[in-house]
Amino acid sequence: MRKILLGAVLTVAMALPALAHFPPGEFFFAVQFPDANIPVIDGNHADWGVVPQVPYEVGNDRYSDSVYSKLRGEIDVSDLSVRQVIGWNDNTNLIYLMAEVFDNVHSRDAETPNAWWADDAWEIYISPTHPEIEGGGGYAPGQEGIIKIGYNFSMPPTAGAWGGYNPPFDWVVDPANNDAWSMAYTFSGEEFGESTYFYEAWIRPFDFIPDDGDRAAAEETDLEEGQVIAISWTFGDFDTPGGAALEDYQGFWSVSPNGCCRADNDMVMSELDDSIAWGDQPTAVESNSWGRIKTEFKY
């Protein structure tokens, strides 16, 4: 583990003058999955059970709330508790993500497909090339090419829509027929009440997508060990039905200290971690226990 951290720190230190992301000097680490241990995207976190908390897990202490100006670590875990791990694989060239979200009220009542901004949502923003534009650049056409992409999921699906994608090009909208992302989820508890949702996804990172959305002209990111990418994610929390306006949020918790819809945290693509017993796969029950679904909550 020391070897991984030292190698990552040295790589990051060399790149620091070009990054200037937030918080300065802080890095997340994406665990590298061996080819035989790539997680199956099915909403079961058992594939992730051998990944150690340090340095890979991102827990409640890393989130701040931009709507109500709550500082890092001020999240009320009886209302919302989150943890996330990110991984990658060199041969697939994909980024893998899992998130575990306990919520005292899971809200999903928007009738408009993909209206993640009006319901509880998992929002991921990525800009691998670290552009100089603050926040990772734009994710809409008309800005001389797209250099930041947003993946937005609000479950369960509405009208067959599994997620929102910015920019909203046709070749990435249909979850059954695209090579840009895949997502699955399960939950325990009440589907629309107190529950814990288990999300999984893979996303294909892009350095650049032309304004017209031409898939053939899009430039995929070539992930490699020691690389540092710009990424941020957010968990939106609604506790009352019909939410849509900013003031309707119960909380809007992001790893970016600058708030919504940004890609300004730094994440290191880690080396293979020899300390992980990849051959020892846990059961689903062990994985849920490892997630500490409700052990930290006190009412």
Over residues 187-233, the pLDDT tens digits come to: 999 999 999 999 999 999 988 888 777 888 889 999 999 999 999 99
What is the arithmetic mean of pLDDT over 82-105?
Answer: 97
Q: Both tokens of residue 289?
A: 């226990």
HSE-up of residue 80 (Cα within 13 Å, Cβ side): 28
pLDDT at 284: 39
Confidence label for 75 from pLDDT (cuts 50, 70 and 90): very high
44 occurs within a structural domain: yes
The distance from CA 148 to its chain's CA centroid, rounded to whole angstroms, is 14
DSSP collapsed to 3 states, 123-172: EEEEECCCCCCHHHCCCCCCCCCECCEEEEECCCCECCECCEEECCCHHH
- Amino acid occupying residue 173: V
Does the pLDDT value for residue 278 go beyond 80?
yes
Cβ neighbours for 280, distance < 8 A, ≥ 6 positions apart: 50
299 occurs within a structural domain: no
Does the pLDDT value for residue 95 go beyond 80?
yes
Q: What letter would DSSP give residue 39? A: P
Domains held by the chain: number? 1
Does the pLDDT value for residue 173 go beyond 60?
yes
Task: Determine the Cα–Cα distance for residues 79 and 251; give it in Å rounded to an integer.
Answer: 9
Q: Both tokens of residue 32?
A: 């590298």
- Least confident range from 44-48, 61-65, 113-117, 275-279: namely 113-117
Does the pLDDT value for residue 288 go beyond 70?
no
Confidence label for 234 from pLDDT (cuts 50, 70 and 90): very high
The parent domain of residue 234 ranges over: 2-290
- Give the residue with greater pLDDT, 201 vs 285: 201
Mean pLDDT of all residues belonging to the chain: 81
263 occurs within a structural domain: yes
HSE-up of residue 112 (Cα within 13 Å, Cβ side): 10
DSSP labels, 93-124: TEEEEEEEEEESS------STT-GGGS-EEEE
Nearest to residue 66, comparing CAs of 255, 275, 269?
255
Residue-wise pLDDT tens digits, 132-165: 555 555 665 555 667 788 889 999 988 877 777 7
- Amino acid occupying residue 39: P
298 occurs within a structural domain: no
Give the start-end residues of each E strand in 167-246: 181-189, 195-203, 206-208, 219-220, 228-237
ω into 156 cis (within 30 of 0): yes
- pLDDT more than 90, % of the chain: 47
pLDDT at 6: 42
Please check whether residue 21 is in contact with residue 266, taking contact to mean a CB–CB distance below 8 angstroms: yes
Task: Determine the Cα–Cα distance for residues 205 and 200; give it in Å rounded to an integer.
Answer: 16
- Give the residue with greater pLDDT, 186 vs 150: 186
Please check whether residue 145 is in contact with residue 208, taking contact to mean a CB–CB distance below 8 angstroms: yes
20 occurs within a structural domain: yes
297 occurs within a structural domain: no
Task: Determine the Cα–Cα distance for residues 150 and 243; give it in Å rounded to an integer.
Answer: 21
Terminal C-alpha separation, the chain: 37
CATH of the domain at 12: 2.60.40.1190
- Do the strands 265-269 and 228-237 form a parallel or antiparallel pair, or are they unpaired? antiparallel
What is the arithmetic mean of pLDDT over 173-177?
Answer: 63
Confidence label for 282 from pLDDT (cuts 50, 70 and 90): very low
pTM: 0.85
296 occurs within a structural domain: no
pLDDT at 107: 92
32 occurs within a structural domain: yes
Please check whether residue 159 is in contact with residue 115, taking contact to mean a CB–CB distance below 8 angstroms: no
Residue 270's φ and ψ, nearest 5 degrees, are: -75, 160
Task: Determine the Cα–Cα distance for residues 142 and 66; give it in Å rounded to an integer.
Answer: 27
